[in-house]
Every structure is written in C-alpha cells, then in structure tokens.
Amino acid sequence: MADPWQLAGVALGSALNEGSQWLRNRREAHKALGAALAELLEVHHSLVALPKLAAAIRKALGAPPEAETVIITIALRLFPAMGSASSRYDEAVTKVAGEDPVLGFRLRSQDLILPVLAQLRQLAASDPQALSAWPALESALRTKVTPSLEERILDVAWLHGKWT
C-alpha cells in the first residue's frame, strides 16, 4: 500500500505541472494576441493616416483634390512599409487562430484593404476621369472598411487584457 504522503506529493506535483503548462500556454496566447493587435493597429494607422497626410500636403501645395491620389502613390513609394500587407500580421493571425480559430478567421483578411486600395489607386491614376472620381470613391471605401477593422481591434484588445 502506498504512503498517503507519497500520493499527495504525486498529486501536488501533477497539479503544479499542469498549472505551469497552463500558464505557459496562456503566456503564448497573450503574446500572439499582442502581436495581432499591434499589426491591426498598424493597418488601421495606414488606412486612416495616409489620406490625412495627403490632404495636408495637397492643401499646403494648393493642389486640387485629385492630387491626393498622386500624393498617396508617391508616399507609398517613398515609404513602402506604410501601405504593405505585413507578413508579421499573417504570422500573428496564424498564432491567434491556433488558440481561437473563429477569431483567427475574422482577422485573416483585415490587412488586404491596403493592397487593394493601392491597386485601384494605380488604375485610377492611369485615367483622367477615374482620377477625378477616385478620392470620393476611396473615401467611401475607407469609411465602409474602417468600422469593421475597429471592431476587430476592440475584439483583440479585450482578449489581450482588460487594461488594453
């Protein structure tokens, strides 16, 4: 017959091992959520800040509204990281999906708006009529996409921690 103290020691050791593993998993999930949140904020920043930058430059130059498209195109060439879909975002979402597949699915394509807008902007720049209509269309697209992106940011922030 086994000594009760030995059984208690084995049970306690097993519980501590499980608790330690749970804490490691929680820490990894927290890191993944933090990385996803940082990348989502980067996408949001690019989506919101780029048109504001272009508008400020256009006003300073006294250029017409159509010039914003050209200014954004030049800014993205000068600072390619500003509008690029990051591989870090994809890695972070993959880690989040390992912990929460539904959230991972909801986060998966949130960064695609930037390359889509860049391609549409280039197409618009090649046609004078499209170039004059593009700023209003881009603004409408940004207005439609931004609330969904902000919802995902809040979802991830709440999961990351109540203070986030």
Instruction: Give CA–CA dist 43/69, Å, rounded.
Output: 19
Q: Over 90: is that where the pLDDT of 147 sits? A: yes
How many beta carbons lie within 10 A of that of residue 44, not counting itself? 18
pLDDT tens per residue across span 82-93: 666 577 788 888
Sign of the alpha-carbon dihedral angle for 88, 94, 97, 102: positive
Residue 100 domain boundaries: 4-160
Instruction: Give CA–CA dist 133/10, Å, rounded.
Output: 73
Q: Among 16-25, 27-36, 57-66, which stretch is predicted with the lowest mean pLDDT?
A: 16-25
Q: Over 70: is that where the pLDDT of 44 sits? A: yes
Q: CATH number for the domain including 47?
A: 1.20.120
Assign 74 a pLDDT band (cuts: 50, 70, 90).
confident
Q: Over 80: is that where the pLDDT of 150 sits? A: yes
Q: Over 80: is that where the pLDDT of 46 sits? A: yes
How far are the Cα atoms of 106, 132, 158 from residue 153, in angstroms, in the given order?
A: 11, 33, 9
What pTM does this model have? 0.74
How far are the Cα atoms of 14, 75, 77, 84, 133 from residue 124, in angstroms, in the given order?
A: 64, 16, 16, 19, 8
What's the domain count of the chain? 1
Higher pLDDT, 32 or 151: 151
Q: Over 80: is that where the pLDDT of 110 sits? A: yes
